[in-house]
Chain A
Amino acid sequence: MGEETMDLAADATVEVTLRGGLAREGRALASVVPVLRHLLGAQTQGLVSEAILARVRGMVFDCAAQLLAAKGGRDPSARDPDALDALAEGLMADEALLAHCHALAAEGLIAERLMQRHAVDPVLSPLLQELIAAEDPAVASLAMATLAAQSRFVQSQRRMELPLGELPAELFHALTARIADAGAATAGLQAAYDEGASRVGLMARLVGSMRRGALAALGIEHAGLALFATALANATRSARTDAVLSCHEGQSLRLALLLRAAGLMPAAIGRQLLLSDPAARLPEAIGALSAERAAALLAAERPAR
């Protein structure tokens, strides 16, 4: 008798667990078709594509592996695949990190497409060449360092990797906080970090050193995508990731407005649009829009995202 009641009770619990699990699996199945439709419907160059997914996943796993390595030192037991999966899963919940990785992956893919279609060198652009030959040794060495960093970036994108030191300070801080229990390792990572020596930091310094000449960097074919994005972000006070994503196909209106906000004339904007998105049409109205209004339009839209 007693045995039977216990069985019943156990059955009830089991059923609750099963029902929960079934519902979860059902949701996963149900989301397959919409996601599939999005991936299939989008061209290969969609904002979310298999290429982007693979790169983002690779970069997040690489970050997790670096964190684990820093924590475990040479201890081989720290190279535990389960721990790596767990940490990576935690990192994937970090929206800021995902957004950053997405922008990097997009930057790599856009640069690749620009090279195929318009022969824009992703590493050494004509502008960078000029800067390396600059008379001012400080600018020249900054440009050399930028060149090295950019070529490392292109390489690491191919390998779907992301060195921790390339993260912006906020993300780096958030990531290293995850292994805060390994005190010395965290301190070592933090001491080695220098945002100004990262690729994005170097680019920002280089564009800064061009002063008013930074206008010359507002041409993708002349500056290359990476410097172009930094210069555009700098001129419009927007995030560099926004500037990168505006060069994506289907984001041409954003790019046009950003360029207008940076003070470019409609003819010049049209030339840039032709490079970034050949299907794009330059809105007629852009010529009538003042730089301030363009900036205001962009600023008004930003909190909505």
Chain B
Amino acid sequence: MDQTGTLLGTYGLTDGRDRLLSADAPLAELQERCGGDLPGTLAIPELLALVQQARRMGLRIARSFSAYDGDAEVSAFARIHPLGPDDGGGCEVLVENWQRNPLIPPSAREFADRIDAIDRATAEVSARLDAGQRLQVVSARARDAAFLEAAPLGSLWSELVDLQDITHHQPLHWRLLDGASCRLAGSARDWRVRLIPIGPDPQSPAGFELLLIADAPLAEGGQTDNDQAEVPIDASPARLVGTALTPVLRQPVARIIANAETMRARLAGPLREEYSEYAGTIASAGQHLAAMLDDLADLEVVETPGFSTAKEPVDLADAATRAAGILGVRAQNRETILAVEGARGETIATAEFRRVLQILINLVGNAIAYAPAASTVTISAVPASDGRVAVTVADEGPGVAPEQAERIFDKFERLGRDSDGGKDKGSGLGLYISRRLAEAMGGTLTVGPAPGGGALFRLELPAA
């Protein structure tokens, strides 16, 4: 990753359906804090609107946006560059000038009013009760609560639901019931009860507003997101890093990086040159750690017993073009030319598109990083023998010696790059993961000399 590029800007990439495919730490953190996944649909509302606008108009736009990350208001300036359909049809998003302003906590009364407003907006059952908590009118929007509308008026509301953790006989004082949880016959969801008194005197209310708020939206006929369906969530205890460690560590690591970058850029005030450099080292070490966490999570997935991939036709020329598009900016930073060879529709493999793209991004990313600046990286999709097709990535770097050719795919193998003063951010896992992925798809990943010197990585997959 180019250091100057991350000084003030955070880079992200979306696809044609506004899903955030990859993002640098601060953007990834905000996406998660806004309730989104990575990869997943962009969850930062104002940024999503900007990305959609840029995509619709096909124009590069530059606007400021703000979002609430749970603790503070984040505002930043986004430059959005829509990509052509050949490059995935999404957008490159460059976010500059992050600012976090802690919100002044509203007064208790304002806060309570706001909570009431949110609950009113999200309640799927709302009713009006008289002073004795008996139903006067009820309306239910959710299918699994529709039976409440048939309840006889004048009945005690608490007899219609199954209140949890409340053992006293009803009716109780409303303050004890406000905020209680309950279950409804015929609904699989947990519901929260809100009782809001009506009338000028909360000590002796003239009636109540009853709201039932479900803890989750109603599932639509048990369907799940298409992308998630391919990978069943594996909660086996073996996946410690991916399911337990990565989510917990991502935020503190992101904070270390962000603060170190702030110091390095002297945004918090003047600082001596050496200290600024130390901060730069901390930031790049943090980025290494973050990348390492992602790789370890991937490693766990490929090493899980029974790991399998989907089988779908994958156009290797198309995958190569997309990989080149995604890494275009990184290549530009090193003035590397990415040349894609092979016509679409001629090399179709049976594999999983996502995984093929992951392998190609790894191979091309390595080629950009380790070949000399201003050289050419060639990605070709070619037919191979025995009903197989292949895609190759050739660089003009120093190449890989024959005795290294097998070791390079070993776990944590970095071929002497550890001495690089911490600048190199590889975990030594990328090629190992790539090979495991290739094998899981019934293919092979090998390395040999490229025609013009340099290394040539070859991914072979069964043809469709």
Q: What A residues does B180 contact at CB under 8 A? A: none
| Nearest Cβ on chain B to A232's Cβ, whole angstroms | 13
Which of A135, A194, A209, A212 is close to B62, meaning CB atoms less than 8 Å apart?
A194
Indicate if B59 sits at the interface (CB-CB under 8 A). Answer: yes
| Nearest Cβ on chain B to A119's Cβ, whole angstroms | 31
Given contacts A138-B8, A205-B96, contact A196 B76 (CB under 8 A): no
Which of B54, B64, B96, B265 is close to A136, meaning CB atoms less than 8 Å apart?
B265
Indicate if A58 sits at the interface (CB-CB under 8 A). Answer: no
Interface contact B96-A193, CB-CB below 8 Å = no
Q: What A residues does B267 contact at CB under 8 A? A: 211
Indicate if A242 sits at the interface (CB-CB under 8 A). Answer: no
Binary interface encoding of chain B residues 45-75 relative to chain A, with 1 for a CB under 8 A from any of its CBs, else 0: 0000000011001111111100000000000
Nearest residue, chain A, Cβ from B76: A208
Q: What B residues does A195 contact at CB under 8 A? A: 59-63, 79
Interface contact B64-A190, CB-CB below 8 Å = no
Bound-state Cα–Cα, A172 to B99, Å: 29
Nearest residue, chain B, Cβ from A187: B58
Q: What A residues does B76 contact at CB under 8 A? A: 208
Interface contact B57-A173, CB-CB below 8 Å = yes
Q: What A residues does B8 contact at CB under 8 A? A: 138, 209
Which of B57, B59, B97 is close to A208, meaning CB atoms less than 8 Å apart?
B97
Q: What B residues does A209 contact at CB under 8 A? A: 8, 96-97
Given contacts A205-B97, A208-B76, A211-B267, contact A169 B64 (CB under 8 A): no
Nearest residue, chain A, Cβ from B58: A190
| Nearest Cβ on chain A to B59's Cβ, whole angstroms | 5
| Nearest Cβ on chain B to A70's Cβ, whole angstroms | 15
Interface contact A136-B62, CB-CB below 8 Å = no
Bound-state Cα–Cα, A228 to B199, Å: 49
Given contacts A173-B57, A205-B97, A211-B97, contact A135 B266 (CB under 8 A): yes
Bound-state Cα–Cα, A195 to B58, Å: 12
Interface contact A138-B63, CB-CB below 8 Å = no
Given contacts A193-B59, A193-B60, A208-B77, contact A169 B96 (CB under 8 A): no
Q: What B residues does A72 contact at CB under 8 A? A: none
Bound-state Cα–Cα, A204 to B77, Å: 8
Indicate if B156 sits at the interface (CB-CB under 8 A). Answer: no
Interface contact B99-A211, CB-CB below 8 Å = yes
Q: What B residues does A170 contact at CB under 8 A? A: 57
Indicate if A270 sits at the interface (CB-CB under 8 A). Answer: no
Binary interface encoding of chain B residues 259-293 relative to chain A, with 1 for a CB under 8 A from any of its CBs, else 0: 00000011100100000000000000000000000
Bound-state Cα–Cα, A190 to B76, Å: 25
Interface contact A138-B7, CB-CB below 8 Å = yes
Indicate if A46 sits at the interface (CB-CB under 8 A). Answer: no
Interface contact B59-A190, CB-CB below 8 Å = yes
Nearest residue, chain A, Cβ from B79: A196
- Chain A interface residue count, CB cutoff 8 Å, equals 22
Q: Which of B59, B96, B267 gathers the greatest number of chain A CB atoms within 10 Å?
A: B59
Which of A196, A211, A234 is close to B60, meaning CB atoms less than 8 Å apart?
A196
Indicate if A250 sits at the interface (CB-CB under 8 A). Answer: no
Q: What B residues does A169 contact at CB under 8 A? A: 53-54, 57, 59-61
Interface contact B266-A194, CB-CB below 8 Å = no
Nearest residue, chain A, Cβ from B4: A138
Bound-state Cα–Cα, A196 to B94, Å: 11
Binary interface encoding of chain A residues 193-207 relative to chain B, with 1 for a CB under 8 A from any of its CBs, else 0: 111111001001100
| Nearest Cβ on chain B to A55's Cβ, whole angstroms | 25
Interface contact A204-B58, CB-CB below 8 Å = no
Interface contact B64-A234, CB-CB below 8 Å = yes
Binary interface encoding of chain A residues 178-199 relative to chain B, with 1 for a CB under 8 A from any of its CBs, else 0: 0000000000001001111110
Interface contact A194-B77, CB-CB below 8 Å = no
Given contacts A138-B7, A204-B64, A234-B64, contact A173 B97 (CB under 8 A): no
Q: What B residues does A204 contact at CB under 8 A? A: 62-64, 77
A90-127 contacts to B (CB < 8 Å): none
Bound-state Cα–Cα, A67 to B131, Å: 69
Q: What A residues does B61 contact at CB under 8 A? A: 169, 195-196
Bound-state Cα–Cα, A169 to B265, Å: 31
Q: Which of B54, B97, B265 gathers the greatest number of chain A CB atoms within 10 Å?
A: B97
Nearest residue, chain B, Cβ from A211: B99
Q: What A residues does B265 contact at CB under 8 A? A: 136
Bound-state Cα–Cα, A190 to B77, Å: 21
Q: What B residues does A172 contact at CB under 8 A? A: 57, 59
Bound-state Cα–Cα, A205 to B61, Å: 12
Given contacts A208-B77, A211-B267, contact A201 B59 (CB under 8 A): no
Nearest residue, chain B, Cβ from A198: B62
Q: What A residues does B99 contact at CB under 8 A? A: 208, 211-212
Bound-state Cα–Cα, A193 to B77, Å: 18
| Nearest Cβ on chain B to A188's Cβ, whole angstroms | 12
Given contacts A136-B265, A136-B266, A138-B8, contact A208 B58 (CB under 8 A): no
Bound-state Cα–Cα, A195 to B99, Å: 21
Q: What B residues does A208 contact at CB under 8 A? A: 64, 76-77, 96-97, 99
| Nearest Cβ on chain B to A259's Cβ, whole angstroms | 19
Q: What A residues does B62 contact at CB under 8 A? A: 194-198, 201, 204-205
Q: What A residues does B266 contact at CB under 8 A? A: 135-136
B97-118 contacts to A (CB < 8 Å): 97, 99
Bound-state Cα–Cα, A196 to B50, Å: 13
CB pairs A–B below 8 angstroms (29 shown): A135-B266, A135-B270, A136-B265, A136-B266, A138-B7, A138-B8, A169-B57, A169-B60, A172-B57, A173-B59, A193-B59, A194-B62, A195-B59, A195-B60, A195-B61, A195-B62, A195-B63, A196-B60, A196-B62, A197-B62, A201-B62, A204-B63, A204-B64, A205-B77, A205-B97, A209-B96, A209-B97, A211-B97, A212-B99
Given A193-B60, A208-B99, 7 additional A-B pairs, CB 8 A? A135-B266, A138-B8, A169-B53, A169-B60, A169-B61, A205-B77, A212-B99
Residues of chain A at the chain B interface (Cβ within 8 Å): 135-136, 138, 169-170, 172-173, 190, 193-198, 201, 204-205, 208-209, 211-212, 234
Q: Which 9 A-B pairs have the closest CB atoms?
A: A196-B62, A208-B97, A173-B57, A208-B77, A195-B62, A201-B62, A169-B61, A194-B60, A196-B79
